[in-house]
Structure 1
Amino acid sequence: MEPESNTVPIMPDASTAFARYPSLAGKAVLITGGATGIGASMVEHFADQGARVGFLDIDAGAGTALAARLGGAARFLPCDVTDVDGLKAAIHAFEAESGHIDVLVNNAANDDRHRVDEVDTAYWDNRMAINLRPQFFAAQAVRPGMARAGGGSIINLGSVVVQMAAAEMVAYVAAKAAVYGLTRALAREFGPDRIRVNCLVPGWVMTERQIRLWLDEAGEQRIAERQCLPDKLVPEDIARMALFLAADDSRHCTSQSFIVDGGWV
């Protein structure tokens, strides 16, 4: 990441001790959009907990590099999540290796900015195909195996842009708003099989992409004005909440949204 322009630490002190979740050891965890950013941090964190991790991404170079860096602790499956048949095939491939999938993290998304008057039907459909449709079809694909195994956890990624009513990203905001409804509907449908479905809602997370494209002086000012806490959010903050929602510690948490935004909304 690029150097910060202020003196507020972006990361916790190195001596900070974070939670270990024994129930995650040996669990099969599948993460979409896992090659970079928040997804890559999730891959690293679940692998560190002793889980059997598989991750999907369209970025073959970044995915291969991450898998190599983790030395076999995570399995990379190249996949374009807008291709539903390809998405299902990748899920079933990892499922075949693992027996079943215990945890699904629907992380893949794209928040490119766009103006209302420039959106046509093709662009709108593409935004839904990236930011909403895969979450449903991935959940649909893992459900039978989770049910046979006696339960599981599905974590859908939302965004605080919904509460913020963010501008210049109307299709993305609409898709993320739909994720809330999808989460609650799936939680009701899947609950009898002891499959929990929750929505993890990040604030403005300082991934390399966000820093490169949008963290300018005005952005620094917005963080200072809007967040209750002075420290910037980093991918690790979101990954640690995902660990909790995947672990047995949260066994009665379902149909809920968990916001991790430093108090922005």
Structure 2
Amino acid sequence: MTNTASENGLTLVLGGTGKTGRRVVERLEALDVPVRMGSRSASPAFDWQDRSTWAPVLRDVEKVYLSYYPDLAAPGAAEAVAAFAARAAGAGVRRVVLLSGRGEPEARECERIVQGAGPEWTVVRAAWFAQNFSEDYLLDPVRAGEVVLPAGDVPEPFADAGDIADVAVAALTGDGHAGEVYEVTGPRALTFAEAVAEIGRAAGREIAFVPVSADDYAAALKEHGVPDEVAGFLLYLFTTVLDGRNARPADGVRRALGRAPRDFAEYAAEAAASGVWNL
């Protein structure tokens, strides 16, 4: 597979400040690939909710890393992705790499939309991000020493955001990835209790995991002022996606990159060393 900057035109990275998008941008820049960040803070700005921002960011773009915020399972995602994919095809984009979610029927619909839009496509279908514990809504509970979630004994092969970015960049810059669906997971599945215990060992302190019912979790989210749409989305993930359908690790990292995926323990050790979980 080739991977030379001279063969890569301007690449638009949607969600360029997010967990995976930021890493995709960093890797493309390290390869001297021209990058345009797609975010509300960039110039030109991009906003999924403001379609007038789409044409400016697509100008002169050859490839797109398409990540939808907050998730492809969110209401309205399929309609927005369909409109953007059509706009991208009309603007001359020739390759799209879609970040998708494992075990989400709504995400599968978005995959079909991108696959039928016209440009070359690759799907990066990711498991639950390990970095949710250090860069997202689970960071504060870990710091506080107690993670309360409606998650039981069903294991999840947490995916490392760095692996997701590596696969996406390979698909954006190299040959041989068109038409591929890469399921990106970690090499082993852990329950949330086991994941929290590994984080505690890496951080050198006790962090409790407290399982609760979906109703109790919903009440707690409301009490903390979490918007209804965000709360509903989180409950959907915990009650639907974590039903065992995604418990088995997949081989997407090895198929795309020829190496093993990163283990959760390695992620936890690196995150702990960064001090992100310090009180």
Paired position in structure 2 for 1:160: 102
Paired position in structure 2 for 1:140: 86
Quick check: 2:13–2:66 contact (8 Å CA) kept in 1?
Answer: yes
**Alpha-carbon shift at residue 178 of structure 1 (Å):** 1.4
State which of 69, 73, 94 in structure 2 corresponds to 1:109.
69
**Is the helix fraction higher in 1 or 2?**
1
CA spacing shift, 1:257–1:214, aligned 2, 3 Å: farther
1:101 maps to a residue whose letter is: V
Quick check: 1:34–1:40 contact (8 Å CA) kept in 2?
Answer: yes
Quick check: 2:99–2:123 contact (8 Å CA) kept in 1?
Answer: yes
State which of 164, 182, 200 in structure 1 corresponds to 2:124.
200
Paired position in structure 2 for 1:38: 20
Distance 1:181 1:26 in 2: 25
State which of 49, 52, 66 in structure 1 corresponds to 2:34.
52
State which drifts further: 177-186 or 21-30.
21-30
**Alpha-carbon shift at residue 222 of structure 1 (Å):** 6.0
Look at both structures and tell me which one has the larger radius of gyration over its CA atoms: 2
Paired position in structure 2 for 1:185: 116
State which of 211, 220, 242 in structure 1 corresponds to 2:138.
211
Paired position in structure 1 for 2:156: 226
Amino-acid identity (%): 12
TM-score (norm 2): 0.55
Distance 1:210 1:233 in 2: 16
Distance 1:198 1:132 in 2: 17
Quick check: 1:32–1:106 contact (8 Å CA) kept in 2?
Answer: yes
Quick check: 2:160–2:186 contact (8 Å CA) kept in 1?
Answer: no
Would you say 1:90 and 2:57 are equivalent positions? yes
What are the Cα deviations for residues 172-228 of structure 1, in whole angstroms up to 9, with x where unaligned? x53x23112213322xxx2xxxx31122111111140153278737699868x332x
Paired position in structure 2 for 1:262: 186
Paired position in structure 2 for 1:79: 46
What are the Cα deviations for residues 35-93 of structure 1, in whole angstroms up to 9, with x where unaligned? 121111111111111111011123x2xx5xxxxxxxxxxxx4322212222222332xx
CA spacing shift, 1:52–1:112, aligned 2, 3 Å: closer
Distance 1:86 1:161 in 2: 31
Distance 2:72 2:111 in 1: 20
Paired position in structure 1 for 2:161: 235
Distance 1:153 1:86 in 2: 20
CA spacing shift, 1:258–1:217, aligned 2, 3 Å: same
Q: How many residues align structurally? A: 182
Quick check: 1:24–1:247 contact (8 Å CA) kept in 2?
Answer: no
What are the Cα deviations for residues 81-138 of structure 1, in whole angstroms up to 9, with x where unaligned? 12222222332xxx2xxxx22211111321499xxxxxxxxxx7xx31xx33332233
1:38 maps to a residue whose letter is: T
Kindly report the root-mean-square deviation, in angstroms, between the aligned alpha carbons of the 2 structures: 3.3
Distance 2:182 2:66 in 1: 14
Query: Segments of 4+ in structure 1 off by > 4 A?
Result: 23-26, 217-223
Quick check: 1:41–1:239 contact (8 Å CA) kept in 2?
Answer: yes
Quick check: 1:26–1:50 contact (8 Å CA) kept in 2?
Answer: no
Distance 1:197 1:80 in 2: 22
